[in-house]
Structure 1
Amino acid sequence: MMAWYEDAVFYHMYPIGMTGAPRENREEGVVHRFEELDKWIPHVADMGCTAIYIGPLFESSTHGYDTRDYKTVDRRLGDNEDFKRFVKKAHEAGIKVVVDGVFNHTGREFFAFQDIQKNRENSPYCSWYKGVNFGWNSPYNDGFGYEAWRNCFELVNLNLWEPAVREYLLGVIDFWIDTFDIDGIRLDCADCLEFSFMEEMRRRTQAKKGDFWLMGEVIHGDYSRYIRDGQSMLHSVTNYELHKGLYSGHNDHNYFEIAHTIRREFDENGGIYKGMKLYSFVDNHDVDRIISKINVKEHIYPIYTLLFTLPGIPSVYYGSEWGIEGRKEGGNDNPLRPAAEIEKVLEGQKDSPIMHWFKWLGEMHKTYRECLAYGRYRELLLTNRQYAFARFTDNQALLVAVNNDEQETEVSIPVPFADKVYINLETKEKVPVENGRVQLRIKPAGSILLGINI
């Protein structure tokens, strides 16, 4: 039986940004902004998305990753009851909910760090953090030093070899499952976490909720180290390698880059991640918006086609489905995380061709879920500016062709099943097979999806 996450399409929500909440948490009381987030759920469903990744949600001091309290929803967004209602509404709409798990570090306002500030060497929490040294000092003049994440001293690195820290964090996960019925966790900077901690997390969550999904944020290196056999550690990691190829392969008119990445990762013969389900995306809360990264804005259409049809679990970051612009300003991520009122957006963007294309691809992903989740990948045609491939199982097959040229082009594509009927899924027209090939005319920055009647 297919697990829910294997054929999921994710919608990524950064709630502090999208609600317009203050970037610094100085609220005296709770502000119930989840009422605005609830309104997004019908839109998420309408886009064909079957899961939401939302976060960070833990009570924090600023951007959400400097945790103040792991068991309280950030007061700028609402309270625990508000989030419980959000998850319930999502589940009623057939949407799973995955939250951010920030377990590599805490903020300076976390109780354990404050206890060290107060009691120094006598604090029982000295072993909770890495590198605590009372012979040093910190940039905050604490009178002691500590290890910080990438020298950002507002983020204090936890010591995951300390049993009490592990048990505390695993208890936090238990709490979020028991209290909110969440369906998974995205592990912030998983490439900094101890492998044995992630193994323990997998055992604990699997026993508690059999289909609980663990996905790690990993940027560089060998992704398979974090997934291994698929049974003992994480289920998935972020596919930053494909993310890079999807925009630069279009900017450089070089489909060889994308095809080489897929061949290296998922080829039937020797792909290093063959059989693994990596998390695919074109932008997120940490990188420039896709529409701002591409030189030819119309390339958003073949980019989204590839996001939905290449091997992987596709994800869209809120607003990018209608083409929100956004670039980092130095170290400032706020332009990537703008406020958006969904009711106004839907009125203003009701004719958005990008959003209509995204929604259509969501429908196709649902229709062809078997071959897109489990199907083999086979490259059929590759030039700098045209690329075609098939995804297929014994029961279902799809042929995808994309064009990054500014001109309409005609291609002749060898097909995997010469005796089958090919249907253009957009026009519903039959496409004849002649001498084992189909002839297609693809518009500039266009895509064609052919369903194959197995």
Structure 2
Amino acid sequence: MWAYESVFYQIYPLGFCGAPKQNDGILTPRIQKVQDWIPHILDCGANAIYFSPIFESDAHGYDTRDYRKIDCRLGTNEDFASVSKALHQNGIKVVIDGVFNHVGRGFWAFQDVLKNRENSPYKDWFHINFGGNDGYNDGLWYEGWEGHYELVKLNLRNEAVIEHLFSCIRSWVEEFDIDGLRLDVAYCVDRDFLRRLRSFCDTLKPDFFLVGEILGGDYNQIMNDQMLHSATNYECYKGLYSSLNSMNLFEIGHSLLRQFGPENWTLYKGKHLLNFVDNHDVVRIASNLTNEKHLPLIYALLFGMPGIPCIYYGSEWGAEGKKEHGSDDSLRPCFEAPQCNALTEWIATCAKAHKESKALCYGDFKSLMLTNKQFIFERSFEGQRVLVAVNADGEAYDAHFNANAGRARDLLTGQTHDFGGGSKLPPYSAAYWEIY
């Protein structure tokens, strides 16, 4: 699977392109901006893009109006097709958001229900009670996503709904040559639908990648051979920044051992979760870490731990962003042009090392040394061994552990490392030691 050897770059298109927050109905080819960023995306070391919602919607993209039409605020289907073609020509895979749990109130089939009520041929596309009422005073009640009634829940056990969604996915492959889908709120989506989705997508394109959004619990409930290939690793997202802020690396160490360790009870051994330090829904990592010197270290952990690393646009140069008054707008800004600084270059170095190392892409996980402020773990695959070493302290540290090796090459610096007499870790440092 190509995704297991990839570095993803996430773009939230409506924010990235500076589109109006509400759909103004004005056709503007803003999505072409992505083509201007291709050199930067490649420079960051990414070779896959995950696009948040791109289809016609009421406001933020997750309130779909039409799955067959690119949002007019972004341009036309032809505009996105040209962007996707340019990305593919540069060796970049394309994954888009599949928002299948719910639609917006402006969705054409729901509008027909509001107009024709019990006589609508689409009344069973949703979960509707015509004897009730909703917050919009429609004279009917319907199920919304987690109490948000601007998001109308689809009936994913209705064959007509399934047929419509699958026909749209097929058209996305034909029009845009997409390489995969990220399933929004996959933890809510009907499991039988996920099984049918996997079977269908397996017929569309070799190695068509499916990753699902899940916040907690056992990710295996949606990530398995019958459903999705991957899931969002929110457990380690929290552990990464929290363990650095509290200077307690045991937290992230415990999460990684629970997920990938050598014990028989390990949950996800051999699987590939989508890892991230921030995204369009959470505080940007530069605003989340209490010590800015930990910023390079959290990315070293991201690219060194098991799974698929994903970078959120703008965070590669340390852009800040917090939720303000419950709004996500500040997390999804429009940048006039990409920036490059020492952090960007560091991320690119980590990304290159990750992509070029089978051990970092596929390797087992073993903890070798763990303290509150230092963490050394091993990734091994088919005889290849890479030790990931992080010192989160402002003081140098002499690490004594059994490396079962004499010398190594640091994949980040190219320098030779000798394990004889211990390993000195400089302050706020990270290394990927590939064993000779």
TM-score range, shorter chain: over 0.9
Contact 1:51 1:96 in 2 (8 A): yes
1:175-324 to structure 2, matched below 5 A, reads 175-228=171-224, 231-270=225-264, 271-324=266-319
Structure 1: how far apart are the matches of 2:366 and 2:200? Answer: 37
Normalised TM-score (structure 1): 0.94
Q: Deviations over 1:216-237 (max 9, x none)?
A: 0000111011122xx3110000
Contact 1:36 1:341 in 2 (8 A): no
Q: 1:23 to 1:384 in 2, by over 3 A?
A: same
2:260 maps to amino acid: F
Structure 2: how far apart are the matches of 1:173 and 1:425? Answer: 40
Counterpart secondary structure, 1:227:
coil
Q: CA deviation at 1:179?
A: 1.2
Are residues 1:32 and 2:29 paired? yes
Counterpart secondary structure, 1:192:
coil
Contact 2:269 2:364 in 1 (8 A): no
Q: Deviations over 1:365-397 (max 9, x none)?
A: 1221x1112111111100010000111123422
Give the aligned partner of residue 46 of structure 1. Answer: 43
388, 399, 424: which is aligned to 1:411? 399
357, 364, 367: which is aligned to 1:379? 367
Q: CA deviation at 1:426?
A: 4.1
Contact 1:377 1:391 in 2 (8 A): yes
Counterpart secondary structure, 2:41:
helix
| Alignment gaps of 5+ in structure 1 | none
Are residues 1:123 and 2:120 paired? yes
Contact 1:388 1:413 in 2 (8 A): no
Contact 2:223 2:229 in 1 (8 A): yes
Give the aligned partner of residue 449 of structure 1. Answer: 432
Counterpart secondary structure, 1:414:
coil
The alignment-based identity, stated in percent, is 46
Q: CA deviation at 1:335?
A: 0.5
1:3-152 to structure 2, matched below 5 A, reads 3-28=1-26, 30-130=27-127, 132-152=128-148
Q: CA deviation at 1:242?
A: 0.4
Q: Deviations over 1:311-352 (max 9, x none)?
A: 01000100011001000113200000010122xx33xx3xx1
Q: CA deviation at 1:18?
A: 1.0
Q: What is the alpha-carbon root mean square deviation over aligned residues?
A: 1.3
Structure 1: how far apart are the matches of 2:129 and 2:219? Answer: 34
Structure 2: how far apart are the matches of 1:124 and 1:81? Answer: 31
Q: CA deviation at 1:44?
A: 1.1
Structure 2: how far apart are the matches of 1:394 and 1:166? Answer: 42
Q: 1:427 to 1:317 in 2, by over 3 A?
A: closer
| Alignment gaps of 5+ in structure 2 | none
Give the aligned partner of residue 337 of structure 1. Answer: 332
Structure 1: how far apart are the matches of 2:359 and 2:414? Answer: 19
Give the aligned partner of residue 378 of structure 2. Answer: 390
Give the aligned partner of residue 353 of structure 2. Answer: 364
Q: 1:134 to 1:427 in 2, by over 3 A?
A: closer
